[in-house]
Structure 1
Amino acid sequence: MATENDPRTISGFGQVSRTTGTIFRYLLMAATMFGIVTLAVLLVYVANDALQPFTADPAWHLTFFVTLVVPTVLAGGYLYQRNKSALSFGGMVIGMLVVSLMFASGLALVLIDIIPPLVAFSFVVAFVLPALVVVGLTKYDRQIPFGARVGLTGALFYLSLFGFPGFIGSTLGLPSIIPSVADLVQSLPVVPTPWVMVSLMLGGTAAVVIGQYFGDIRGDKTGLAVGVATFVLTAVGALVGSMTGFGAVAMATITSVSLLPTAAYAGGNALTNEEDRTGLVFVAVVLGGTLLGAFVVNTLGFAGPQSWVDWQFLTSAHSGSAENAGLYPAIGGSILLMCTVAAMSFPVGVGAAVYLEEYAPNNKFTRFIDVNISNLAGVPSVVYGLLGLGVFVNYLGQPTGTVLIGGATLSLLILPIVIISSREAIRSVPNDLRQASYGMGATRWQTVRNVVLPESFPGILTGTILALGRAIGETAPLIMIGAPNVLFNLPTELSSKVSAMPLQVYAWSSLFASEDFYTKAVPAGVVVLLAVLLAMNSVAIVLRNKYERES
């Protein structure tokens, strides 16, 4: 065996020495730490300009140090020594609450200012009705041929969502003959109030998911009771929001998307893992300390930090002065762009990955495609912007800078990444599972649908979320397709002009370059954008870790 003082030469490896390996290891660690520390310093520098933590009264810092920092450190240190799993569970609950609040706020923005609740409700109804019919048809799937079943499913969804002849007919100039279910719902003389529709949509969805979750833990009766309670609590949240001035739609969205799912996760995990229940104490310490600190500083009048990331910044449009500038239209634009990108890139990317891994023969043509997909993943984003400009704007004659064109261009950007990550996830499914499925008489399609896709879906979803995280931070493609740098109104449809958070920050640092914008609006915009990116990446990391543990 090689030692530090006795290096030896082994055929094929050269001289083997532990000293060399130890030096190499510490060099790698030093390089990693240098990168992490440098990035941390840059982030702290930007966050300091945006949040201005040292502008608060010393009493404000002292209050939160006593009510939040000290109890959190003590509780966290105790759990770290006694039960690390409980500490991880408590941290997961707090992280889930914070991240879900961000996503719930974005959804509330969409339902309040972009898509009217009636329109959203009509399309949900138009989607649910054919889905129920398709679920009913699955009972007779052996009697109905596969091709007929696929055609019937597609026809039902198309008629329900678009009518006949639908958008294909409108493109050809044909009049509408059969209205869609969505149009019929929107034309009803009497419709529910907005908060009722939001409660039905989001509260109903949360009730089904949470009820199923508790049904798997404690039985169907418990699941049904919890589901009903979830729906009722969503409606109660909407009523509380309307009475307090917070907004019924906003409160119903936050309750059903953030508060109730977080509580359900905490309660369900506490029921199934008794040793982790002490993690709820850590959650209570953090949340209780935060609320207590806020109550004390508000009661005693201690001034907090003069942060540029405040409610005014998040809910205002651009202004000529940095003090009044806001990011609201850009936030709404980024949300619409990401929804469009996900709708375009996810089915195409996953479909391409399934074909290349499960159906495509191993020949020169497929190998040529593999090489080009890998190369396209490394192409600079500005090239995709030029591609979008040339294809969608110049060749197809579409207007510049719209939600649809921006989403299509960003979809081209991340499509190779989605394909590669999806292929890796599909490739990671053990081949023994496929052979077992074939051995039971299943066809290739049945194997892909019932074995391969369920096993690989967590990896596919993780890769897609990370790809969307790249798309939301891109500026060059949007500049190339003519997206406006500054937008004062939220986009309301796919043909509306759209801006985005990175594009707005770019405008503040270039077109409106001044000392105020550099030190106020730009750092605040960067902090908001980084918070969104971290939230998206955290979802991907949690999904990856969860399914790695289960596998």
Structure 2
Amino acid sequence: MATDTESSYAGGFGQVSRTAGTIFRYLLLAATMFGIVTLAVLLVYVANDAIRPLTADLGWHLTFFVTLVLPTILVGGYLYRRNTAALKLGGLIVGMLAVSLLFSGGMAITFIDIIPPLTGLSYAIGLAIPAALTVVLTKYENKISFTPRVAVTGAAFFLSLFGVPGYLHSVPELVQKAPVVPTEWVILTLVLGGVVALAVSRYVARIREDTTAGLLAGVAALGLTGLAALVGPFLGIDANALVVVTTVAFVPTATYAGGAALTREQERIGLLFAATVIVGSLVGAAAVDILGFAGPQSWVNWHFLTSPHSGSAENAGLYPAIGGSILLMATVAALSFPIGVGAAVYLEEYAPDNTFTRFIDVNISNLAGVPSVVYGLLGLGVFVTYLGQSTGTVLIGGATLALLILPIVIISSREAIRAVPGDLRQASYGMGATRWQTVKNVVIPEAFPGILTGTILALGRAIGETAPLIMIGAPSVVFSLPTELSSKVSAMPLQVYAWSSLFASEDFYTKAVPAGVVVLLVVLLAMNSIAIVLRNKFESES
């Protein structure tokens, strides 16, 4: 009877009390809820200062309540009671559109202001030529040994991108010196729209099992992108910006929604929820504009997002810092991803189990917990003092942040590789594959979802770091976008830090600082949401 009431005795574990276990569980729940509530209160407080929803007219709130909030509650409640999976699909489409719109702004900054469209086209062609050669050589891998293929591929990429100074021009140089070049919106349509159209074509061909349908879908996606450029000026929108937004946000979201409508018959009603939110938002925005209701006097507005720093909080903007964060993250990903994944593959698949590798394992785990300021000192000592590089540049900042997240990328990649079932490896070996073929064709494809989500979460940590950038001498304030790896760079957290310290005043504390914090948090949440969605998608497919 004692086992049914208070406690029991489990061999090897001693006396187990159910009462103590229950108390411990509720203590953990209370601690978790306390942390969540405290964080929520802090975020609401900051968001209220930045967005100031109570400054809007009462009619503005009532209009959006009638057009957006009430219909969303009714449709969402109905789907929650009848078909939860459909509600999740509708929420996923709404979230996909919101996140893709956010990242389309970053893509517009990158491929319009930081990298001129003609430069992007020239390097796209410069990469496409050796990439095509690589694909051709791969088809003859049984006839051409590995070393010659690597040598030819490496030489093709180098000659195409850099040429031979004084003897052979690179492909980007030849393209940029061409006597006739397309307009910028045409270039963006061909480069970005072409990549997305190819992805749309493959997606539709896969779900419809029809190559012709995929080809037509790709052509339609490319045509829609070009149409957006033509319609944009009539709507008062820059053609280049609308091409990027259409390519990154509208076309992928519409494609996914159409694919869901075709393949998920039981859940397609969830598209009604997405339509309710999207149409309700547009109708509400049009209604308040027609009726003349003033919205919130938010500090997070178009001026804040597209203006440089200013001495007054009302005119201060985050634009150069946003561009700097984008370039830093691109540099960090380019440095940390191949090195981290390569190290993980070696340690898991090739390294022997000896004292040296165990020593490396322990140190990688320890490095993951080292404070970020130490990595800033490391970057200062290695890249600036020892190698003599300029302080505060995109390359030095990206390399320092790459060192910061490298242990995290290695650990997450190793866990993903370790999770691949051993039976798959044995089956590959049983078919006569070598270790490298097994790693390339079996292990890495199976582990890639976990590797990708771990890398995205690590980048989310890097984008919020301030101490390493301060230590390498990154300027707190810049007034223009960085355009090269050698350009001085700031970042969003560093700009917010400058507003709260160097420009400390009541105006900056209540206006610019909360607005900067909200923008940074939105970017972090968007990156983490992508990682979560990818993880859940691949887990459901496995």
**Above 0.5 in TM-score?**
yes
> How far, CA to CA, are the matches of 1:11 and 1:548 in structure 2?
36
Say if 1:2 and 1:18, in contact at 8 Å, map to a contact too.
Answer: no
How far off is 1:415 after superposition? Answer: 0.6
How far off is 1:183 after superposition? Answer: 1.1
1:205 pairs with 191, 195, 204, which one? Answer: 195
1:354-503 alignment, distance < 5 Å: 354-503=345-494
How far off is 1:20 after superposition? Answer: 2.1
Aligned length in residues: 541
Say if 1:403 and 1:497, in contact at 8 Å, map to a contact too.
Answer: yes
| RMSD, aligned α-carbons | 1.1
Give the direction of change, closer, same or farther, for the CA distance of 1:459–1:397 in structure 2 (3 Å limit). same
Q: Which amino acid aligns with 1:211?
A: S
How far off is 1:7 after superposition? Answer: 2.4
1:126-165 alignment, distance < 5 Å: 126-164=126-164
How far off is 1:6 after superposition? Answer: 4.2
Look up the match of 2:26.
Answer: 26
2:271 pairs with 277, 280, 284, which one? Answer: 280
Q: Which amino acid aligns with 1:264?
A: T
Q: Which amino acid aligns with 2:512?
A: A
> How far, CA to CA, are the matches of 1:386 and 1:176 in structure 2?
40
Quote the sequence identity (%): 73
User: Secondary structure in 2 aligned to 1:246?
Assistant: coil
User: Secondary structure in 2 aligned to 1:334?
Assistant: helix
Residues 333-376 of structure 1 deviation map (CA, whole Å, 9 limit, x = unaligned): 00000001111111111111111111111111111111111111
Say if 1:4 and 1:19, in contact at 8 Å, map to a contact too.
Answer: no
User: Secondary structure in 2 aligned to 1:15?
Assistant: strand
> How far, CA to CA, are the matches of 2:8 and 2:296 in structure 1?
62
Say if 2:6 and 2:19, in contact at 8 Å, map to a contact too.
Answer: no
Residues 194-253 of structure 1 deviation map (CA, whole Å, 9 limit, x = unaligned): 111110111110111011000011111100110111111111111112333311111111
Residues 146-168 of structure 1 deviation map (CA, whole Å, 9 limit, x = unaligned): 1111111111111111112xxxx
Look up the match of 2:62.
Answer: 62
User: Secondary structure in 2 aligned to 1:489?
Assistant: coil
Alignment partner of 1:527 is 2:518 = yes
Look up the match of 1:169.
Answer: none
Look up the match of 2:84.
Answer: 84
How far off is 1:3 after superposition? Answer: 4.4
2:183 pairs with 183, 193, 201, which one? Answer: 193
How far off is 1:10 after superposition? Answer: 3.5
How far off is 1:4 after superposition? Answer: 5.5
Q: Which amino acid aligns with 1:40?
A: A
User: Secondary structure in 2 aligned to 1:9?
Assistant: strand
Say if 1:4 and 1:18, in contact at 8 Å, map to a contact too.
Answer: no
- Normalised by the length of structure 1, the TM-score is 0.97
Q: Which amino acid aligns with 2:466?
A: T
Say if 1:2 and 1:16, in contact at 8 Å, map to a contact too.
Answer: no
1:36-55 alignment, distance < 5 Å: 36-55=36-55
Look up the match of 1:101.
Answer: 101
Say if 1:342 and 1:468, in contact at 8 Å, map to a contact too.
Answer: yes
Residues 272-302 of structure 1 deviation map (CA, whole Å, 9 limit, x = unaligned): 1101111110011111111111111111111
User: Secondary structure in 2 aligned to 1:148?
Assistant: helix
How far off is 1:8 after superposition? Answer: 3.0
> How far, CA to CA, are the matches of 2:109 and 2:243 in structure 1?
12
Q: Which amino acid aligns with 2:22?
A: T
Say if 2:6 and 2:18, in contact at 8 Å, map to a contact too.
Answer: no
> How far, CA to CA, are the matches of 2:231 and 2:417 in structure 1?
46
Look up the match of 2:207.
Answer: 217
Residues 75-132 of structure 1 deviation map (CA, whole Å, 9 limit, x = unaligned): 0010000000000000000000000111111111112211100111111111111111
User: Secondary structure in 1 aligned to 2:168?
Assistant: coil
Alignment partner of 1:295 is 2:286 = yes
Alignment partner of 1:344 is 2:341 = no
- Normalised by the length of structure 2, the TM-score is 0.98
